[in-house]
Amino acid sequence: MSDVDFDVVVLGAGPGGYTAAFRAADLGLRVGLVERYPALGGVCLNVGCIPSKALLHTANIIEEAAAMEQHGVSFGQPAVDIDKLRGFKESVVGKLTGGLAGMAKQRKVEVIQGSGSFAGPDELVVKTEGGERKLSFAHAIIAVGSESLELGRMPWGDPRLMDSTGALELEEIPQRLLVIGGGIIGLEMACVYRALGSDITLCELTPTLMPGTDPDLVKPLQRRIGKQYKNIHLETAVVQIDVADDALVAHFEGKHNGKEKFDRVLVAVGRTPNGGKINAAAAGVEVTARGFIPTDKQMRTNVPHIFAIGDVVGQPMLAHKATHEGKVAAEVCAGEKSAFEARVIPSVAYTDPEIAWVGVTESEAKESGQEYGVGRFPLAASGRALGIDRTEGFTKLLFDQATKRIIGAGITGPNAGDLIAECALAIEMGAEAEDIGLTIHPHPTLSESVAMAAEVFEGTVTDLYIPRKK
Partner 1 sequence: MSNTIEIKVPDIGDFSNIPVIEVLVSEGDKIDAEAGLVTLESDKATMEVPSPAAGVIRELKLQLDDTVSEGDVVAILEVSGESDEAEEASSSGDGDSVEAVPQSPPQKAAEPVAEESEPPAPSADIEQESPPPAERLSGTAAVDPARVPYASPAIRKFARELGVDLGRVKGSGNKGRIVREDVSAFVKSVMSGAVETGSSSIGGLRLNFPKLPDFDFSRYGGTEKQPLTKIQKISAAHLHRNWIGIPHVTQNDEADITDMEAFRQANAAEAVEQGFKLTPLVFLIKALVAALKKYPTFNSSLDSDGESLILKKYFNVGIAVDTPDGLVVPVLRECERKGIMELAAELGEISARARDKKLTPQDIQGGCISISSLGGIGGTSFTPIINAPEVAILGVSRSKMSPVWDGNEFRPRLMLPLSLSYDHRVIDGAEAARFCRYVASRLEDLRRLTL
Distance CA 47, CA 40 (A): 11
Q: Is residue 222 a contact partner of residue 228, using CB atoms and an 8 Å limit?
A: no
Judged by CB under 8 A, the number of residues near partner 1 is 41
Which residues within the stretch 363-402 sit at the binding site for partner 1 (CB under 8 A)? 364-365, 368, 370, 400, 402
Residue placing its CB nearer to partner 1 in the complex, 85 or 334:
334
Concatenated DSSP letters for 138-202? EEEEE---EEEPPPSSS-TTSTTEE-HHHHHH-----SEEEEE--SHHHHHHHHHHHHHT-EEEE
In the bound state with partner 1, the residue whose beta carbon lies nearer, of 7 and 455, is 7
Q: Which helix (H) or strand (E) holds 323?
A: helix 319-333
How far is it, in rounded angstroms, from Cα 317 to Cα 457? 32
Residue 25 vs 187, nearer CB to partner 1: 25
Q: Which stretch binds partner 1 (CB under 8 A): 46-54, 101-109, 230-238, 293-301?
A: 293-301
At residue 392, the 3 state secondary structure works out as coil
Give the three-class secondary structure for 371.
coil
Amino acid (1-letter code) at residue 5: D
CB 123, min distance to partner 1, A: 13
Whole-angstrom distance, CA of residue 240 vs CA of residue 81: 33
Answer for which of 30, 89, 139, 160 binds partner 1 (CB under 8 A) is: 139
305 is catalytic: no
**How do 271-273 and 146-148 pair as beta strands?**
antiparallel
Nearest in space to 264 (alpha carbons), one of 203, 209, 198: 198
Is residue 41 within 8 Å of 366, Cβ to Cβ?
no
Cβ-based nearer residue to partner 1, 139 or 264: 139
Under rule CB under 8 A, residue 343 binds partner 1 = yes
- State the binding string over 303-322 for partner 1 (x if CB under 8 A, else -): -xx-----------------
Task: Find the part of the chain contacting partner 1 (CB under 8 A) among 276-284, 300-308, 380-388, 442-450.
Answer: 300-308
Interface stretch with partner 1, choices 84-92, 347-355, 421-429, 455-463 (CB under 8 A): 421-429
Contacts of 425 (CB under 8 A, 6+ apart): 431
297 forms part of the interface with partner 1 (CB under 8 A) = yes
Asked if 404 touches partner 1 (CB under 8 A), the answer is yes
User: By C-beta, is 154 or 453 nearer to partner 1?
Assistant: 453
Asked whether position 338 contacts partner 1 by CB under 8 A, the answer is yes
DSSP letter for each residue of 60-118: HHHHHHHHGGGGT----S----HHHHHHHHHHHHHHHHHHHHHHHHHTTPEEEESEEEE
Among the listed residues 57, 251, 441, 443, the single catalytic one is 443
103-107 LR contacts (CB < 8 Å, sep 24+) = 103/22, 104/18, 104/21, 104/22, 104/33, 104/40, 107/21, 107/22, 107/25, 107/26, 107/31
Candidates 74-82, 250-258, 295-303, 440-448; binding stretch for partner 1 (CB under 8 A): 295-303
Q: Is 164 exposed, middle or buried (0-12, 13-18, 19+ CB in 10 A)?
A: buried
Is 334 near partner 1 (CB under 8 A)?
A: yes
Q: Which stretch binds partner 1 (CB under 8 A): 108-116, 203-211, 335-343, 458-466?
A: 335-343
Is there binding between residue 359 and partner 1 (CB under 8 A)? Answer: yes
Return the number of other C-beta atoms located less than 10 Å from residue 258's C-beta: 10
Running DSSP on this structure, what letter comes out for residue 270? -
Q: Does 428 bind partner 1 (CB under 8 A)?
A: yes
The yes or no reply on residue 421 touching partner 1 (CB under 8 A) is no
Distance CA 57, CA 350 (A): 10
92 binds partner 1 (CB under 8 A): no
Residue 230 interacting with partner 1 (CB under 8 A): no
Nearest CB to partner 1, comparing residues 30 and 390: 30
The region of 70-78, 148-156, 214-222, 337-345 touching partner 1 under the rule CB under 8 A is: 337-345
Which residues sit opposite 272 in a β-bridge? Answer: 147
Q: Counting contacts by CB under 8 A, is residue 429 touching partner 1?
A: yes
The secondary structure element, H or E, covering residue 329 is helix 319-333
- Which residue, 236 or 338, is less far from partner 1 as judged by CB? 338
Report if residue 34 touches partner 1, rule: CB under 8 A. no
User: By C-beta, is 183 or 408 nearer to partner 1?
Assistant: 408
Active site residues: 443
| Site for partner 1, rule CB under 8 A | 1, 7, 29, 122, 138-139, 296-298, 300, 304-305, 333-344, 359-360, 364-365, 368, 370, 400, 402-405, 407-408, 427-430
